[in-house]
Chain A
Amino acid sequence: MPNYAILHEKPECLYEDYERKSELHRQTHYCPGCGHGIVHKLLAEAITELGIQDRTILISPVGCSVFAYYYFDVGNVQVAHGRAAAVATAVKRAHPHSIVISYQGDGDLAAIGSAEILHCANRGENITTIFVNNAIYGMTGGQMAPTTLLGQKTTTSPTGRDFHHDGAPMKVGEMLSALDGPTYIERVSLGNVKQIMLARKAIRKALETQIAGLGFSLVEFLSPCPTIWKLDPVDAQKHVHDVMEKHYPLGVKCDRIAERTAPPEPAPMTPLTDLPRILRLPSTEPAPLHFSEEPLDWRIRVAGFGGQGVLLLGQLLAEAGMDAGLHVSWLPSYGPEMRSGTSNCHVRLCSSEIDSPVVSRPNALLALNEPSLRKFIATVEPGGVVIYNGDSIPADCSRHDLRIVAQPFAEIADSLGSAKALNIVMLGAFLSLSHALPDSPIESALKRLVKSERWLELDRRALAVGRERVPAEEFVHA
């Protein structure tokens, strides 16, 4: 029997031998007196005591704690500078039952990673962030951090941090607590043994928050960096207590644990057999239609104002063409045109495979307004069809080598009860003139694209009126 009692021992969660290090497998790479060693031990104790070692995934940052994975016998993901909160977000969402801990220093979290931590906290991601604030960039050799105190000399603030030049030291705990997203945020200190014991409790509380599924938790540690501060370890610890704590008040910054409830359990896995339904994949092939033995190659340009239904008109042609067993393509002009200005699309209906979906020499132009007519009529192939929404073709853009129909289709649509039916009236006119497609695929395309019964009825009438107003044999040459 040993005649002594073990009061402190290495937590199971830390490796016995640090074999991932290239040398000195029994000691850490941290400097004597560095706060990381203490924080590592507190964290490892909490993980071990809470029995979550197998479930834990540690996200290590860039900075002195980049090698946290040397020590922690848990799942480890090492990440880019500042991005721990983003990576942690996705890890947790992939494995909601895991315990995700992102470990970050002040340069990493508060400077380059400020956007990621802000949004992670605001989303209330159910992760725990260990934030080590030593007011300096340690790994890179002592540059100024967002948390560097006013007057503090660093290699990049050699005369001391100046408010007018560098702004104020950033209070991360308070800043994040101003958001509604986080559940629990506390600032603790490694300034003396008593405070270290309080810090121990804070880590535990943060992890318990995550285990209960209650959302985002963060513990900010005021931590000594004796090497860069050029102080011996005892003085460095004293500096944390005497100086840092004055600017960075300790305590709970937000605690909304009582207000929060855990989200429902994730749904069971979606069976793969459900995917075709979920993805709306068609189950049955439409019966192939052989309505024409002639080789067919419609290269159609539809153009008008945004909001006139230009794109839908083109899409109806393509959908119907597909149902008719043709090769089809539909290419919109996209972007701002969707919201204002002009809109146009290219449609091809072809009995053989389509090379290019780009219609630069159309054999049919459906112009819903005058600017579109002017823009495209010169590109139409001789012998091509032009359908124009207007009383007549303006004299300065008329051509005698085209089959042209000009009618006030907008007025016709209006008389049917809605100017919005203009595109379908013109579709009727085009189909009547061109015999491009039979009726049944047009009907099936309409049914697929027009969801409202009222609109479907109007569109059917518009289609019929369009056909009536432009009998197949009637070509008006402008």
Chain B
Amino acid sequence: MAKQLLKGNEAIVKGAILAGCRAFYGYPITPANEITEAAAWYLPQSGGVFLQAESEVAAINMVYGAAASGQRVMTASSGPGISLMSEGISYLAGAELPCVIADIMRGGPGLGNIAPEQSDYWQVVKNGGHGCYRTIVLAPASVQEMADLTRLAFELADQYRNPVFVLTDGVIGQMMEPVEFPDAPVLPPPPEWSVRGDAATRKNLVSSIFLQPDELEEHIRHLEFKYKLAERNEVRFERYRTDDADYILVGYGIVARILKHVVEDLRARGIAVGLLRPITLYPFPDEELRRLAKRAHHFFVSEMSTGQMVDDVRLALAGRAPVEFYGRCGGNLPTAEEIASFVLRRIREEVTLHA
């Protein structure tokens, strides 16, 4: 397939339909609207269902219904809408229903603004709803990855029978880059456990209720086992010039792109810097961080928030190396120049300290 210049948000929809998505339920919110609009245009033509729900609460429960029916289904929103969907996401995880949720992050808290932020990390990665569940979280940093990781999200959702997030910021959602789609669209058969209104599935039950404490504990342990499996098998990340790096920068989404520029800039000044970009935010690349810490003696995390993912970097490193944080928020992007000067300042302080 040839390349085509597309917005990140539109690439999600095309990627989803090629991955077998045949239902989309959503509610308008900036900066995720292009996803809903593209779904409204393309899904009915592709033999799928599109419906604009009356709220995000209704939308996520429609996702629940479609998933229970055996359709590959998705929704998309941004911070305030994801907050409303938290209840439904907990039910989806509890009932072991696969679905894909795209969160194109904007500024919060409250109404905040529509400019890009990365402040939904906690609510998405640590789960905003009730109960012991996790969601697999994929973090695209380019338009190509918006397409590719959406496809992967559908596969992981089915494989783990669990909601999977595509979590990115307004920048990646709104920007255009050339993207290439896979040649072969897929449409897997509906799962055996789904309820489809026929004799074959009449005995099927989709539910998240387990009245007896022993039964519920067993169910939660089963979910926990799946998450451990994901932690073992699904960690994905990109390393950039880390092999000889004394300093490691860590960031995801648009920030990782800016950090690449910082790496080049600092390398040109003779400083051995590398970048670790988590592609899965859950499961998080803990082991890779610890491995890098065998050589690198200083870590720098940058996010478009006051620091959320940085907690996971600190947990992973568990004191093996100092972790510094540089963040911008409110819809502002950190520039490569300001991050570079922050890193340089800290490195100089370190040198002075050890002199």
Contacts and interface: CB of A to CB of B under 8 A. Distances in A.
A15 to B, nearest CB: 10
A278 B42 CA distance: 7
B224 to A, nearest CB: 22
Given A80-B91, A93-B51, A275-B18, A355 B264 contact: yes
B77 interface: no
Interface residues of B, number: 78
Nearest to A271: B47
B177 A329 contact: yes
Interface in A320-376: 322, 327-332, 334-336, 354-358, 360-361
A78 B207 contact: yes
Given A69-B205, A279-B14, A328-B178, A90 B69 contact: yes
A79 to B, nearest CB: 7
Interface in B61-90: 61-66, 68-71, 73, 87-88
Contacts of B59: 86
A322 B175 CA distance: 14
B151 to A, nearest CB: 13
Interface stretch (A53-61, A156-164, A201-209, A460-468): A53-61
A286 interface: yes
B257 A115 contact: no
B260 interface: yes
A88 B65 contact: yes
A419 B206 CA distance: 60
Contact of A329 (B54, B115, B175, B187): B175
Contact of A77 (B42, B199, B206): B206
Contacts of A78: 95, 205-209
Interface stretch (A94-102, A171-179, A390-398): A94-102
Q: How large is the interface on A (under 10, 10 to 19, 20 to 34, 35 or more residues)?
A: 35 or more
A2 interface: no
A75 B196 CA distance: 7
B343 interface: no
B206 A89 contact: no
Contacts, number: 227
A282 B170 CA distance: 26
B54 A115 contact: yes
Interface string A30-65: 000000000000000000000001111101000000
A319 interface: yes
A220 interface: no
Contact of B197 (A55, A69, A278): A55
B324 to A, nearest CB: 20
B69 A282 contact: no
Contacts of B62: 86-87, 89-90
A152 interface: no
Contacts of B61: 79-80, 83, 86-87, 90, 116
B335 A360 contact: yes
A22 B174 contact: no
B136 to A, nearest CB: 21
B55 to A, nearest CB: 6
A410 B174 CA distance: 28
A276 interface: yes
Query: Which secondary structure dominates where chain B touches chain A?
Result: mixed
Interface stretch (B2-10, B225-233, B292-300, B305-313): B2-10
A269 interface: yes
B260 to A, nearest CB: 4
A270 interface: yes
B204 A94 contact: no
B220 interface: no
B69 A357 contact: no
B335 A358 contact: yes
Given A74-B202, A282-B1, A334-B114, A267 B47 contact: yes
B247 interface: no
Interface in A229-249: none
Nearest to A346: B175
A233 B176 CA distance: 67
Contacts of A73: 202-203
B222 to A, nearest CB: 18
A319 to B, nearest CB: 5
A298 to B, nearest CB: 15
A375 B297 CA distance: 40
Given A75-B201, A281-B4, A87 B175 contact: no
Interface stretch (B23-31, B156-164, B281-289, B347-355): B23-31
Nearest to A90: B65
A119 interface: yes
Interface in B180-207: 181, 185-187, 195-199, 201-207
Contacts of A281: 1-2, 4, 14, 181
A360 B171 CA distance: 14
Contact of A328 (B23, B30, B57, B177): B177
A261 interface: no
Contacts of B196: 75, 94-95, 98
B337 interface: yes
Query: Which residue among B1, B23, B177, B336 has the maximum number of chain A CB atoms within 10 Å of its CB?
Result: B177
B185 A357 contact: no
B30 to A, nearest CB: 6
A358 B45 contact: no
Contact of A91 (B177, B195, B199): B195
Contacts of B271: none
Contacts of B66: 90-91, 93-94
Given A75-B197, A329-B175, A87 B65 contact: yes
A283 B185 CA distance: 14
Interface of A: 20, 22, 53-57, 59, 66, 69, 73-80, 83, 86-91, 93-95, 97-100, 115-116, 118-119, 267, 269-270, 272, 275-276, 278-286, 315, 318-319, 322, 327-332, 334-336, 354-358, 360-361
18 contacts: A55-B198, A56-B197, A78-B206, A79-B65, A90-B62, A91-B197, A100-B197, A115-B55, A116-B58, A281-B2, A282-B2, A283-B2, A328-B177, A329-B176, A334-B114, A335-B30, A335-B114, A358-B258
Given A80-B64, A119-B58, A279-B17, 20 more contacts: A55-B198, A57-B195, A78-B205, A86-B64, A89-B51, A90-B51, A91-B65, A91-B68, A94-B70, A95-B196, A98-B197, A116-B54, A272-B186, A276-B185, A282-B1, A282-B3, A318-B5, A328-B5, A335-B30, A354-B177
- List the 3 closest pairs (A to B, CB-CB), nearest first: A98-B197, A90-B65, A270-B47
